[in-house]
Structure 1
Amino acid sequence: MYMAHSMFRREIGLAPALVRGVASGDTERARTVADHLDLVDTVLRHHHQGEDVHLWPRLLTRGGPEAAAVVRVMEDQHEAIERANDEVRDRAAIWRVTVDPADGAALGDALGRLSDLLADHLAIEEDQALPLIEKHITAAEWGRMVAEGGADVAPEHMALIFGMMAYEGDPDTVRDVVAGMPPEIRPAIADLAGQAFAQHAVRVYGTATPPRTGVRR
């Protein structure tokens, strides 16, 4: 969870500057940035859907009033984030075509609002929801959530997405996560994830080592 959160903080936090840095009419660069935004959006959407289906209902059943209050906040924040993401998607679809600085500025502003909402949400989730999840959700239930979340991810994106998450991850945690994956995909993920993210980062950021959030767990 912390690895995923670091990825969302970093990629969405850096996104406004990425968009604003695209020159007017540079359709190739705009396509690269917009495709990157689409990928991050897909991962975030799957992440939140997994929580909505697998975590919050179980916490409501098992955690009592304390969990009910936290779940209510989580669900409200997910709805607010999804509304902000709707605006980002709409503005990105326009900017991808026009590559107009005014449209880029509007998209950058929408991404900034999304980043602020997400930062607040992730902090509260880590402080209040994760201790309840550790207490009330089994490893098997967590594993099913992760498996379902990755079920419709394109195979060619699997290593990249894990590389994006592992970029700031603690090495021991990364090894533990890989060890819990199905045996048939472990070698490919372990060998290719870092390389896949480095290549992607060069295309998107111009460097294989984009700025980190500074949060490492």
Structure 2
Amino acid sequence: MTSTNGPYADTRDMYMAHTMFRREFSLMPGLVRDVAVGDAERVQIVSDHIEFVETILHHHHDAEDKHLWPKLQAREPVSAAGIVRVMEEQHAEIDRIGTEIADAMAAWRRNADADSRGTLADALDRMNLLVVEHTALEEERILPLVEKCVTAAEWDLMIREGGEDTPPEILPLILGMMMYEGDPELIKDIVSGLPPKQGPAIEDIASQAFASHSKRIHGTSTPPRSTGF
């Protein structure tokens, strides 16, 4: 293993992100199937939400592809080789299904009909199963390797670059989506690391942003949690 200078990565934020993805993707097929045929306004609302979460996932995976897999393969070649290959294959399959979703969603936006709705919901079912499988495997096999060979500074760089193309105005919503089921101690640590002008206020802003968004998407500010699936 290539030596690095610690401290090593605190991966708790990855668990929090994974929980958010599992929750939101688990809810998506039902959201789509519940939209009435011809309700173009609701089609737009639900489609925008799906596109939003998928974009977050895409940036998340891009950051891993760029920063994480090469380090693990260089520093833990025996332990990492097989599992990194699986991670890359799963990322590619998620991208493939993501293209299916985008195509089905474009048709649904145009037509708001039952056929395009069903095609989209079926694709989201497949995406949900893969997201659950992928995040669970990453937590079981990848994160323990990260915690012993990727430094905190390298991890923080990956997180920063993963979000650098994100418009600042939607950062509170993303944080709120993760905070909803997040570890309170971790949330406190994240907030304490923000610039002083954001500080504790961002916690309330993020919570309010998620509650408002969730009310619009799920009909409640407290949607089912990932543990309920």
TM over 0.5: same fold? Answer: yes
- Cα contact 1:33–1:204 (8 A) shared by 2: yes
- Cα contact 1:159–1:188 (8 A) shared by 2: no
**Distance apart, 1:185 and its partner CA:** 3.5
1:109 aligned to 2:109? no
Tell me, what secondary structure is at the counterpart of 2:94? helix
1:77 aligned to 2:81? no
Q: Corresponding residue for 2:206?
A: 193
Cα distance in 1 for partners of 2:58, 2:194 equals 21
- Mapping 1:27-176, distance limit 5 Å: 27-176=40-189
The one-letter code sitting in structure 1 at the alignment partner of 2:207 is G
Cα distance in 2 for partners of 1:59, 1:99 equals 45
**Distance apart, 1:192 and its partner CA:** 0.4
Sort the Cα spacing of 1:105 and 1:45 in 2 relative to 1 into closer, same or farther, 3 A. Answer: same
Instruction: List runs of 5+ in structure 1 lacking aligned partners.
Output: none
Tell me, what secondary structure is at the counterpart of 2:102? helix
Tell me, what secondary structure is at the counterpart of 1:118? helix
TM-score (norm 1): 0.95
**Distance apart, 1:155 and its partner CA:** 1.5
**Distance apart, 1:191 and its partner CA:** 2.5
Q: Corresponding residue for 1:205?
A: 218
Task: Please give the per-residue CA displacement for 1:165-210, whole angstroms capped at 9, x wherever unaligned.
Answer: 1100111111112223344443452220000000000000110000
**Distance apart, 1:152 and its partner CA:** 1.1
Tell me, what secondary structure is at the counterpart of 2:164? coil
Sort the Cα spacing of 1:193 and 1:210 in 2 relative to 1 into closer, same or farther, 3 A. Answer: same
Task: Please give the per-residue CA displacement for 1:132-166, whole angstroms capped at 9, x wherever unaligned.
Answer: 01111111011111111111111121000110011
Cα distance in 2 for partners of 1:166, 1:58 equals 28
1:4 aligned to 2:37? no
Sort the Cα spacing of 1:188 and 1:91 in 2 relative to 1 into closer, same or farther, 3 A. Answer: farther
Same amino acid, percent of matched pairs: 53
**Distance apart, 1:58 and its partner CA:** 0.4
Instruction: List runs of 5+ in structure 2 lacking aligned partners.
Output: 1-13
Residue number among 36, 48, 52 corresponding to 1:23 in the alignment: 36
TM-score (norm 2): 0.91
The one-letter code sitting in structure 1 at the alignment partner of 2:219 is G
The one-letter code sitting in structure 2 at the alignment partner of 1:35 is D
